[in-house]
């Protein structure tokens, strides 16, 4: 296995380990997840949408200091 692949695998295992520390707490899972995912894939904005298909309601958790614009939310909702 090449060095880059070893590093990528090690990074992924580390991120997943950190996220799993949230246990069964969905709120903590969401906050840790959006904080950790940019360590694996660069992004300008990282969010997690928690969708309740039965009610059609959605809640979005994002990284600190980030916000979705109404047009962004509307675009997602059209596809949801």
Q: What is the pLDDT of residue 50?
A: 86
List the chain residues with pLDDT less than 70: 1-4
Q: What is the pLDDT of residue 3?
A: 67
Q: What is the pLDDT of residue 4?
A: 64
Backbone angles phi, psi at 69, to 5 degrees: -80, 155
Provide the domain count of the chain: 1
Q: How many CB atoms sit inside 10 A of residue 65's CB?
A: 5
Residue range(s) defining the domain that contains residue 26:
3-79
Q: Is the dihedral of CA 26, 32, 37, 40 positive or negative?
A: negative
pTM strictly above 0.95: no
What angle do helix axes 26-36 and 3-20 make, rounded to 10 degrees?
Answer: 150
């Amino acid at each position: 296995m090449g060095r880059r692949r070893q590093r990528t695998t090690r990074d992924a295992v580390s991120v997943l380990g950190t996220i799993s520390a949230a246990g069964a707490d969905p709120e903590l899972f969401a906050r840790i997840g959006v904080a950790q995912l940019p360590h694996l894939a660069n992004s300008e904005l990282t969010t997690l949408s928690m969708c309740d298909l039965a009610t059609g309601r959605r809640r979005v958790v994002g990284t600190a200091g980030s916000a979705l614009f109404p047009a962004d939310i509307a675009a997602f909702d059209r596809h949801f």
